[in-house]
């Protein structure tokens, strides 16, 4: 089987959080969908709660502490991304946004990305389309058409075979297909010279 | 190896007293600090350049000339001189002038400046930072080496039959260090010219410094200036010391917690672990500083930031006493014992003049 990597970013704050539950469902479904195409996805989950102080410190000092650096590198090097946030005040959470604020602006370019969100009520479901999708469009991520929203209702008794399950499977299959279509990600070294000094001198 | 201090010239409220020095006090204090650096046996004093509050040092060569007049051995440098927003013609003139007044005790460190609003005040654009640094230095380099210069570039008025005056002292341009935190183009620039490379080192993890220095050394050799370990490397550092390390931590913490740049962010302990900041006993500073050599190799200049974040001048002078009496003498001995003979010292005017004289005598013998 081909080996690929999947980074899962969860901005849930409580433990356990429904945001993490949704992230895990999506990751499990993506692994299963990829396996049918002969791809073994290795999943790394990044809980932003654990990195909240590091993210604030990065905003203030301009560099990431070691644990945050590892998380940012994991996302950049991943072949696919699942990003899940709770909806706070009609949009992604501030912590979620701050993480993507400190991520390199090119880190998600053409990266297959599945966006998902949780909230207390289904009235927030379009936040995915008016808040998350533009954010990832700016970062030039390849966001799959199906986004997944889960309100409190979706975790109820009938949800196991309900709409949420269907969307999780569809979105994850779309993500797996986009990962499969692409070559494995290779990360460029930020310290590597990309231009000769003679050219720099000629064309300042 | 050269040891010294550098100042960013911030005027910051002392968080323990609420007192803010006036510009006049802070400016005179800097002179006192620089003179004391020489008194305690340090080699270098370097001053930053800023054009925005809360900094005072918009005109470093004026300050350095005043210090030069009151010192006799101290090497005067900058940290940094803005190669992007200054006219390279004025840099050529100002530093040649300073060379003459200071009997050659002058070098400079070029940097781009990372304060966005400053660029438009000087008619420039921060997005062109690298191209500005490349073109402006190419002109500066030429102005110091060619008497009559014709020049056309993208960023300034063309020059026809221009001579920068005064000429560099003894026709030897001031030695130039190029400073950058993480732009490989600047390490490349330093390597191309065979100039020095100075890594700020203090606000970022050591891994960045290690990569930048490795690149600079490799490219220095690529351009035929010597072996990689013969490239000229300078490092920043930041320390606060007391005899007992816990006293140092207790005393420095409020300054750290409220400091410009990193204040109100990471804990002192985190920042000490993540960056080269050392707060503790003189022995801890010695051990940490010797450790820098393990990831950058033998290097030529170590500057410490000692006077920022609102520390009172009395405290800064005490820190210099500790640096001069307990730290630097040990570091000199230890670094010298480790350094192979083929690794050069940082070029000074005296050394460059001696080399030039020797070379011309050799030419005469051969002629």
- State whether B188 and A197 contact (CB < 8 Å): yes
> How far off is chain A from B167, nearest CA to CA, in Å?
25
Contact status, residue B64 vs residue B98, Cβ threshold 8 Å: yes
How sure is the predictor about B242, in pLDDT bands with cuts at 50, 70 and 90?
Answer: very high
- Whole-number Å distance between alpha carbons of B367 and B304: 47
Q: What share of chain B is helix, strand, coil (3-state, %, to 5)?
A: 50, 15, 35
Which runs of E-coded beta strand occur in chain A? 2-10, 39-47, 80-88, 91-92, 112-119, 142-143, 148-151
Nearest-CB residue to A60 (from B134, B184, B264): B264
Q: Tens of pLDDT along chain A (204 residues)?
A: 899 999 999 999 998 899 999 999 999 999 999 999 999 999 999 999 999 999 999 999 989 999 999 999 999 999 999 999 999 999 999 999 999 999 999 999 999 999 999 999 999 999 999 999 999 999 999 999 999 999 988 887 666 667 899 999 999 999 999 999 999 999 888 888 888 888 888 865
**pLDDT at residue A11, rounded to an integer:** 98
Nearest-CB residue to B134 (from A62, A191, A200): A200
Nearest-CB residue to A204 (from B131, B212, B262): B131
Nearest-CB residue to B270 (from A65, A193, A195): A65
Q: Where are chain B's structural domains?
A: 2-366
How sure is the predictor about B234, in pLDDT bands with cuts at 50, 70 and 90?
Answer: very high
Nearest-CB residue to A60 (from B215, B262, B274): B262
Considering only CA atoms, which of B174, B26, B37, B47 is closest in space to residue B102? B174
Element (H, E) at A199: helix A197-202
Q: Around B179, how many Cα atoms within 13 Å sit in the side-chain half-sphere?
A: 27
Rounded mean pLDDT, B141-146? 98
Share of chain B above pLDDT 90, in %: 93
What part of A 142-171 touches B (C-beta under 8 Å)? none
Rounded mean pLDDT, B34-54? 97
Considering only CA atoms, which of B259, B132, B111 is closest in space to residue B181? B111
- B118-143: pLDDT as tens digits: 999 999 999 999 999 999 999 999 99
Chain A CB contacts of B185 under 8 Å are 193, 195, 197, 200
Of B134, B140, B187, B213, which to mutate for an interface test with A (greatest number of A Cβ within 10 Å)? B134
pLDDT at B153 over 90: yes
- State whether A191 and B135 contact (CB < 8 Å): no
Rounded mean pLDDT, B153-178? 97
Rounded mean pLDDT, B148-170? 97
Chain A CB contacts of B178 under 8 Å are none
Chain A CB contacts of B116 under 8 Å are none
- Judge if the upstream peptide bond of residue A154 is cis by omega within 30 degrees of 0: no
Tell which wins on pLDDT, B322 or A162.
B322
> How far off is chain B from A2, nearest CA to CA, in Å?
32
- Whole-number Å distance between alpha carbons of B289 and B81: 25
Judge whether A202 is closer than 8 Å to chain B, CB to CB.
no
**pLDDT at residue A161, rounded to an integer:** 64
Helices within chain B (DSSP H only) = 23-39, 60-68, 88-101, 118-121, 129-145, 184-193, 206-222, 245-257, 268-274, 282-296, 313-322, 328-338, 349-366
Chain A CB contacts of B215 under 8 Å are 191, 193
> How far off is chain A from B114, nearest CA to CA, in Å?
12
**pLDDT at residue B366, rounded to an integer:** 75
In chain A, the residue whose alpha carbon lies closest to the alpha carbon of B129 is A204
> How far off is chain A from B19, nearest CA to CA, in Å?
24
**pLDDT at residue A158, rounded to an integer:** 62
Identify the burial level of B117 via C-beta atoms within 10 angstroms of its C-beta, where 0-12 means exposed, 13-18 middle and 19 or more buried.
exposed
**pLDDT at residue A153, rounded to an integer:** 85
Nearest-CB residue to B266 (from A57, A191, A200): A57
**pLDDT at residue B193, rounded to an integer:** 98
**pLDDT at residue A160, rounded to an integer:** 61
A2-202: CATH class: alpha beta
SS3 state of residue B126:
helix
Q: Which of A180-194, B81-95, B219-233 has the lowest mean pLDDT?
A: A180-194
**pLDDT at residue B261, rounded to an integer:** 80
Considering only CA atoms, which of A46, A41, A54 is closest in space to residue A12? A46
Residues of B with CB under 8 A from a CB of A: 130-132, 134-135, 138, 153-155, 182, 184-185, 188-189, 192, 203-205, 208, 211-212, 215, 219, 261-266, 270-271, 274
**pLDDT at residue A157, rounded to an integer:** 65
CA B9 vs CA B230, B238, B310: distances in Å: 32, 15, 10
Chain A CB contacts of B262 under 8 Å are 60-61
> How far off is chain A from B265, nearest CA to CA, in Å?
5
Nearest-CB residue to B138 (from A65, A66, A201): A201
In chain B, the residue whose alpha carbon lies closest to the alpha carbon of A69 is B205
- State whether A57 and B265 contact (CB < 8 Å): yes
**pLDDT at residue B83, rounded to an integer:** 98
- Whole-number Å distance between alpha carbons of B241 and B325: 12
Q: In the CATH scheme, what architecture does the domain B2-366 have?
A: Alpha-Beta Barrel (3.20)
């Amino acid at each position: 089987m081909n080996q690929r990597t999947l980074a899962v970013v969860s901005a849930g704050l409580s433990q356990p959080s429904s945001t993490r539950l949704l992230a895990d469902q999506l990751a499990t479904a993506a692994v299963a969908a990829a396996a049918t195409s002969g791809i073994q996805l290795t999943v790394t989950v990044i809980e932003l709660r654990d990195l909240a102080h590091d993210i604030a410190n990065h905003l203030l000092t301009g560099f990431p502490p070691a644990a945050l650096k590892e998380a940012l590198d994991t996302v950049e090097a991943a072949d696919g991304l699942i990003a899940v946030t709770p909806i706070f005040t009609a949009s992604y959470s501030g912590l979620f946004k701050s993480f993507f604020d400190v991520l390199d602006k090119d880190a998600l370019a053409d990266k297959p990305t599945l966006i998902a969100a949780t909230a207390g009520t289904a009235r927030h479901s379009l936040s995915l389309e008016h808040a998350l999708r533009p954010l990832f469009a700016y970062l030039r991520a390849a966001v799959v058409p199906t986004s997944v929203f889960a309100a409190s209702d979706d975790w109820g008794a009938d949800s196991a075979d309900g709409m949420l399950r269907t969307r999780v499977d569809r979105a994850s299959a779309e993500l797996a297909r986009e990962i499969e279509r692409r070559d494995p990600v290779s990360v460029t070294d930020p310290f590597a010279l990309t231009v000769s000094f003679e050219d720099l001198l000629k064309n300042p | 190896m050269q040891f010294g201090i550098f100042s960013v010239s911030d005027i910051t409220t002392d968080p323990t007293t609420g007192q803010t020095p006036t510009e006049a006090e802070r400016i005179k204090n800097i002179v006192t600090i620089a003179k004391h650096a020489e008194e305690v046996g340090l080699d270098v004093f370097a001053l930053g350049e800023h054009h925005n509050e809360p900094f005072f040092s918009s005109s470093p060569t004026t300050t350095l000339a005043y210090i030069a007049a009151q010192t006799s051995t101290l090497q005067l440098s900058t940290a940094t001189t803005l190669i992007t927003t200054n006219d390279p013609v004025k840099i050529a003139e100002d530093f040649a002038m300073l060379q003459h007044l200071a009997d050659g005790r002058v070098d400079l460190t070029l940097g781009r400046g990372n304060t966005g609003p400053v660029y438009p005040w000087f008619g420039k654009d921060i997005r062109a930072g690298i191209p500005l640094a490349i073109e402006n230095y190419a002109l500066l380099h030429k102005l110091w080496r060619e008497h009559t210069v014709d020049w056309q570039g993208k960023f300034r008025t063309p020059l026809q039959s221009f001579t920068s005056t005064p000429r560099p002292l003894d026709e030897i341009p001031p030695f130039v260090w190029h400073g950058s935190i993480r732009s490989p183009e600047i390490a490349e620039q330093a390597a191309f010219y065979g100039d020095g490379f100075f890594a700020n080192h203090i606000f970022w993890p050591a891994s960045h410094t290690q990569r930048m220095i490795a690149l600079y050394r490799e490219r220095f050799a690529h351009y035929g200036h010597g072996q990689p370990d013969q490239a000229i490397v300078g490092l920043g550092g930041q320390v606060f010391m007391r005899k007992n390390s816990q006293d140092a931590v207790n005393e420095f913490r409020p300054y750290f917690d409220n400091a410009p740049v990193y204040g109100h962010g990471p804990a002192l302990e985190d920042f000490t672990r993540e960056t080269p900041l050392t707060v503790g006993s003189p022995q801890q500073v010695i051990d940490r500083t010797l450790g820098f050599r393990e990831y950058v190799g033998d290097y030529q200049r170590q500057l410490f930031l000692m006077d920022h974040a609102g520390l009172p001048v009395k405290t800064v002078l005490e820190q210099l006493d500790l640096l001069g009496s307990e730290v630097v003498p040990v570091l000199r001995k230890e670094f010298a014992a480790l350094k192979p003979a083929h690794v050069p010292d940082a070029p000074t005017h005296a050394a460059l003049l001696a080399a030039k004289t020797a070379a011309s005598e050799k030419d005469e013998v051969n002629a």
